[in-house]
Structure 1
Amino acid sequence: MYIEFATTPNEVNACYPIIAQLRPHLDREQFLALVARMQTNHGYQLVYLRDKDAIKAVAGIRTAEWLYAGKYLEIDDLITNADDRSQGYGGKLFDWICNYARELKCDQVRLVSGVQREAAHRFYLAKGMKFEAKYFSLNI
């Protein structure tokens, strides 16, 4: 088992079936174009966990800074393949991301999770994350 960044178009493409489980509104072409744009414009990185020649979990991450919180690593998406859940893959990828954030001298790891994703909330709370804000949005 290993974790690494998806740095080539083939590696990014290989992550699509897992990400599509969380983001089914994106077809493959939209996903590839969006990831390329986010990588170029926003420092977005895809990282994946592979075990036994199959990708088991994928996360999209980026770093930024806020005036009140300092430097942080944002997890945009974290998804374990549906057939491979509850086997520790998501936890291992999350822990790897936290260690990577420490290497980058981040003050926090942050994420936004949909209000309906109660299983994800339990996972994040079990990993030591705190519920500390409400996220608001407005479609324009």
Structure 2
Amino acid sequence: MGEIRQLNEPHEFREAFPVMRQLRTHLTEDLFAELVGEMQEEGYTLFALVDEGEIRAAAGIAVLTNLYYGKHVWVYDLVTDNKARSKGFGYEMLAFLESFAAQNGCSCVALSSNFERVDAHRFYEDKAGYDRVSYVFKKNL
């Protein structure tokens, strides 16, 4: 369907911002570009799925290793443009991330999803074959 490419430059981050903002509504374009730049230094990689010259989906990931998953791909951000939902772009991006994980010697792909994102949960479990395995806990300081 689309072409998935890695975004490396600040102007590319800004091109992805209108789609990413649909998931990360609290961010400004400037803060998004700044944070992605900082996160790249920590191993974050941003991908975009481009179809007919438009970014239809975006995903931000890192290859990590921990005691419970071993080496894995952690998906920090995964969003499909609201105007392009239910057209297979999210599934295509997730399949790409799974292939990327396998090619990089990872044992799994893992992500967390906000409680309110019921449609996303249905997608992950029913269409993409993911298991709900834990809760994430957070305390603001």
Aligned partner letter, 1:92: E
Provide the alpha-carbon RMSD of the alignment: 0.8
Match of 2:32 in 1: 31
What per-residue deviation string (whole Å, max 9, x for no partner) do you get for residues 21-49 of structure 1? 11111001100000000001x20010010
Q: In the alignment, what sits opposite 1:100? A: 100
Rounded to whole Å, the distance in 1 between the matches of 2:7 and 2:68 is 31
Which segments of 5 or more consecutive residues in structure 1 lack a partner in the other structure? none
Do residues 15 (structure 1) and 3 (structure 2) align?
A: no
Counterpart CA distance in 2 for 1:68 and 1:16 is 32
Distance 1:77 1:95 in 2: 15
Name the % identity: 35
Aligned to 2:62: 62
Find the aligned partners of 1:23 and 1:14 in 2 and give their Cα distance. 15
- Structure 1 residues 47-81: Cα deviation after superposition (integer angstroms, max 9, x where no partner): 01000010000000001111132101000010000
Consecutive unaligned residues in structure 2, runs of 5 or more: none
CA shift at 1:12, angstroms? 1.3
TM-score scaled by structure 2?
A: 0.96
Paired residue total: 139
Distance (whole Å) between structure 1 residues aligned to residue 47 and residue 118 of structure 2: 23
Task: Establish whether residue 132 from structure 1 lines up as the match of residue 116 from structure 2.
Answer: no
